[in-house]
Structure 1
Amino acid sequence: MVRVLRPGGRLVLGELGRWNLWAAQRRLKGWFGSKLWQSAHFRSRGDLLALADQAGLQDAAISGAVFYPPFGLAAKFMAPLDPWLGRWTTLGAAFLVLSGTRQADTKPGAARS
């Protein structure tokens, strides 16, 4: 994805987070035969930052959302806390967002390796 960004272009990528009850529920479904979730891979904040670094993104940042468990009643009571939690941590977030900027080429026509 970074390869097709113009220099200075911004990438925003959404991922299912690794360390939360939503991912645990989906892992269990995979273990019990769900073809959809058997090969799913859930990434952590560190995984996403490493991918951004490998791709050469600058100013990489991770934010999180959906900190409540996958149960209707819990969502009703905990959803109002979501924006506050997302400002302070990504641990427990069901959804992670990576954003970063492709480095500007140093000279016109410069190829990116």
Structure 2
Amino acid sequence: MDFNDIAHQYDDWFKTPLGSHVDSWEKEITWRLAKPRPGEKVLDIGTGTANYLLELARMGLDCTGLDVASRMILRAREKSKRDGVKLKLLLADCEALPFPEDYFDLVLSVTAFEFFTDPRRCVAEMVRVCRPRGRIVLGVLNKWSLWAVRRRVISWYKETIFSHCRFYSYPEMRRFLGPVEWGTSVFIPPGAPDRIIPLFDALEPYLRKVAKPFGAYLVTSVTV
């Protein structure tokens, strides 16, 4: 199974009560660390259906996204056309980014790093295309969370999109990037009933402080 197989249903998750809240929690902490500013050039690696890129475009950034899954790119183009949002979208691999050096102010990758076959090569390419004093922001699925445990156990019994990925912890991300700003979000248990979502809405800011290493979504940010 790969992302081409799930492109047609990828956005369905964000329409559910839990999915929409998870998306909101993840974006909140991502934007806090990424500090996107209007007019900046941003590259979204593993953009998927352009969930993050569309929002960045609405903030006034000059947006480029790439993915290795052609159906994901097709879906992203459909969404950008539907919403009247200008995006530059291309089929490409992070191991050989088709851009000159020092080109982007912000290089972003959200829940894609786990699927890279050569993550060190990809990080080197991100650094190459990022301008001096630009930011590289990586959002990954945190190894130290109940969500990662659940996904791994399920993948032992059936083929899922997570069967061939690698989850990461904060210490592992530091080894790729060096000293970083970081944070986590999404502390609600996987599969939680909708009725307890408001409780975790209230708890989320507190848990980001007292249970920082264990949120399901881990974000790291480094200035180049």
2:162 counterpart SS class: helix
Q: In 1, Cα distance between the equivalents of 2:205 and 2:186?
A: 9
**TM-score of the superposed pair, with normalisation by structure 1:** 0.76
Task: Please say which of residues 8-17 and 32-41 is displaced more in the overlay.
Answer: 32-41
Could you tell me the percent identity over the aligned residues?
34
- The answer for the alignment partner of 1:45 in structure 2 is 170
> In the alignment, which residue of structure 1 is the partner of 2:43?
none
Q: Which runs of 4+ in 1 moved over 6 A?
A: none
Which residue does 1:85 correspond to in 2? 207
Q: How many residues align structurally?
A: 97
1:65 and 2:185 correspond: yes
Distance 2:177 2:196 in 1: 33
Aligned-partner residue type, residue 41 of structure 1: R
TM-score, normalised by the number of residues in structure 2: 0.40
Q: Which runs of 5+ in 2 are unaligned?
A: 1-125
Shift in Å, 1:38: 1.2
CA deviations over 1:4-30 (Å, ceiling 9, x no partner)? 101111111111101111111110121
Secondary structure of 1:43's aligned partner:
coil
**Higher relative contact order, chain-length normalized (CA < 8 Å, sep 6+):** 1
Q: Look up the equivalent residue of 2:183 and give its one-letter code.
A: S
SS across alignment from 1:14:
strand
State the match for 2:136 in structure 1: 11
| Aligned counterpart, 2:157 | 32
Distance 2:186 2:163 in 1: 23
Q: What displacement does 1:48 show?
A: 1.0
Q: CA deviation at 1:49?
A: 1.2
For the aligned residue pairs, the C-alpha RMSD in angstroms reads 1.6
Shift in alpha-carbon separation, 1:39–1:47, aligned structure 2, 3 A: same
Q: Structure 1: 5+ residue runs without aligned partners?
A: 54-58, 103-113
User: Quick check: 1:64–1:97 contact (8 Å CA) kept in 2?
Assistant: yes
